[in-house]
């Protein structure tokens, strides 16, 4: 019976964590460039159950031997294994703000690949984002909405000199006749990206991601004056939230049933008359 407690409780914990992820997706449905997180549930290893007993041999002295009979497998519950961001293209939103840049996926050699802007993290390390809601800081550098430097193809911050600029579809920023290619990185396996704060991703795969312009078969476009919207589907997310809540309730009822059975075992069956 105690195994039932653990199985129902693990189901409740997994569904609660899934609900937290879905709630966060819903809260960012209007966040530019936000990539919805998907969850994967996995069951704990199954246990093989068997019954051990003694069997009497058909001999005159009645000798017995231990005997193990296989009953079957027992599932010991589930857990939320990981959350994976979906890099499906989000809808484009027109802002008419010249610092807003929407990154559009073109041809990608692998469906699991992803294109991202290259930015400088708070610790000076290279990180990545799909949020093209850029602005210009007080020193004239192109930065993200959270103040992180947007890098060019050479890994340097982009200095605009506080002057208006244009960006063509190839991602080349032109200011006072100077052409600066904006850093766009291709990651061949998006599962190697770990989501952090401020819409940034950290690469934790082998090797280093490559400049998308240097790879054959990788194409993209940048639209100035537009941003890529969140790829969260509100209707589907609400449906998943309701389904998750019902699964949580179901495990809760199972836990309550075990609790009532344990109460009967303690107060009634175990009562000394």
153 and 186 assigned to the same domain: yes
Q: Alpha helices of the chain — where are they, by DSSP H?
A: 2-27, 234-264
pLDDT at site 185: 94
208 and 238 assigned to the same domain: no
pLDDT at site 262: 77
157 and 179 assigned to the same domain: yes
| Average pLDDT score over residue span 143-165 | 93
pLDDT at site 152: 94
**Across 139-192, where does the E strand assignment appear?**
142-143, 166-167, 172-175, 178-181, 184-187
200 and 215 assigned to the same domain: yes
| Average pLDDT score over residue span 13-29 | 93
pLDDT at site 273: 53
78 and 182 assigned to the same domain: no
146 and 237 assigned to the same domain: no
pLDDT at site 270: 54
| Whole-angstrom distance, CA of residue 235 vs CA of residue 216 | 37
118 and 21 assigned to the same domain: no
**Across 154-200, where does the E strand assignment appear?**
166-167, 172-175, 178-181, 184-187, 193-195
In total, how many domains does the chain have? Answer: 2
- Give the count of alpha carbons within 13 A of 4, CB side only: 12
Q: How many helices (H) and strands (E) does the chain have?
A: 2, 19
pLDDT at site 1: 52
245 pLDDT more than 60: yes
**pLDDT band (50, 70, 90) for residue 17:** very high
Say whether pTM exceeds 0.95.
no
**pLDDT band (50, 70, 90) for residue 271:** low
Closest CA to 233 of 80, 82, 19, 88: 88
247 and 156 assigned to the same domain: no
100 and 223 assigned to the same domain: yes
pLDDT at site 243: 94
Q: Which of 75-89, 153-167, 178-192 has the lowest mean pLDDT?
A: 75-89
pLDDT at site 94: 95
48 pLDDT more than 60: yes
Domain region containing 134? 92-228
């Amino acid at each position: 019976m105690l195994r039932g407690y653990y199985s129902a409780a693990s189901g409740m914990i997994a569904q609660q964590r899934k609900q937290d992820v879905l709630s966060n997706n819903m809260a960012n449905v209007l966040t530019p460039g936000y990539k919805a997180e998907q969850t994967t549930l996995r069951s704990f290893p199954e246990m093989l159950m068997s019954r051990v007993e003694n069997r009497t041999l058909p001999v005159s002295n009645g000798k017995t031997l231990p005997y193990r009979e296989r009953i079957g497998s027992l599932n010991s519950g589930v857990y939320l294994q990981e959350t994976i961001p979906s890099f499906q293209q989000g809808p484009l939103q027109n802002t008419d703000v010249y610092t807003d840049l929407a990154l559009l996926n073109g041809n990608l050699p692998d469906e699991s690949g992803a294109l991202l802007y290259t930015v400088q993290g708070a610790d000076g390390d290279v990180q990545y984002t799909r949020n093209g809601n850029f602005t210009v800081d007080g020193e004239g550098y192109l930065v993200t909405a959270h103040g992180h430097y947007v890098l060019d193809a050479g890994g340097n911050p982009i200095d605009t000199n506080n002057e208006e600029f244009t960006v063509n579809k190839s991602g080349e920023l032109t200011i006072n006749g100077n052409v600066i290619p904006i850093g766009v990185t291709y990651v061949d396996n998006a599962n190697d990206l770990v989501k952090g704060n401020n819409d940034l991703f950290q690469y934790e795969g082998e090797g280093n991601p490559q400049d998308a312009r240097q790879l054959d078969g990788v194409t993209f476009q940048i639209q100035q004056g537009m941003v890529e919207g969140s790829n969260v589907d509100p209707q589907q997310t609400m449906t998943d939230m309701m389904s998750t809540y019902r699964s949580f309730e179901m495990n809760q009822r199972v836990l309550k049933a075990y609790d009532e059975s344990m109460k009967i075992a303690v107060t009634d069956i175990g009562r000394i008359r």
